[in-house]
Amino acid sequence: VGELQLRGTWVTGGYLHTDSDAFSEDGWLRTGDMGHIDERGYVQLTDRTKDVIKSGGEWISSVDLEDRLLQHPGVSEVAVIATPDERWQERPLAIVVSDSGTQLTPEDLRDFLKGRVAKFWIPEYWCFTDHILKTSIGKIDKKALRDQNESGALNVQTIQ
């Protein structure tokens, strides 16, 4: 897994009126997308570079972790972001909206994830809420969630 970079005749050479670091010195456009190329040459995008979580030198895909958590019948919505951790540098923070009438605990979801994701992917940090912030077009606003986490506005539970 790595960052997708593009270079070619029809790829832009820069952005107007900006000092972007989106371009390498040799002209490759850094897309900000993470992914891999399979044995048939197909590119599979797996996450955005700003959304992957680097925990103790290992990469955790926020998108893959969200997908697994959404498989739980009591979860209606979820966002996973990185949160600082003294020991591992970063750890996943799962922000969860439960289906109405469902009372979820971090322990329920941690048990659910066992065997579905790598052990080091399972979050210790959890936030249960009624709604998750969205952008004007309805996408989960991870930048706003990271800002809320940094400011202490999220009610985060820590489970070891």
Q: Please state the pTM of the whole predicted model.
A: 0.81
How many CA atoms lie within 13 Å of 23's alpha carbon, on the beta-carbon side? 14
Q: Which alpha helices (DSSP H) does 72-141 contain, by range?
A: 106-113
- What average pLDDT does the segment 96-106 reach? 92
Distance CA 44, CA 30 (A): 16
Indicate if 68 and 15 belong to the same structural domain: no
Indicate if 95 and 68 belong to the same structural domain: yes
Indicate if 76 and 153 belong to the same structural domain: yes
pLDDT in tens, 121-137: 999 999 999 999 999 99
Residue 107 has pLDDT above 80, yes or no: yes
Indicate if 31 and 59 belong to the same structural domain: no
Indicate if 66 and 130 belong to the same structural domain: yes
DSSP-assigned beta bridge partners for residue 96: 78, 128
pLDDT in tens, 3-54: 888 888 888 777 776 667 777 777 788 888 888 889 999 998 887 878 889 9
Residue 109 has pLDDT above 90, yes or no: yes
Indicate if 81 and 150 belong to the same structural domain: yes
> What is the total count of domains within the chain?
2
Indicate if 38 and 61 belong to the same structural domain: no
Residue 16: give its domain's CATH number. 2.30.38.10
Distance CA 152, CA 148 (A): 6
Query: What is the structure's pLDDT at 21?
Result: 75
Indicate if 25 and 69 belong to the same structural domain: no
Residue 71: give its domain's CATH number. 3.30.300.30
Indicate if 60 and 115 belong to the same structural domain: yes
What phi and psi, each to the nearest 5 degrees, are found at residue 91?
A: -140, 160
| Structural domain that includes position 62 | 53-158
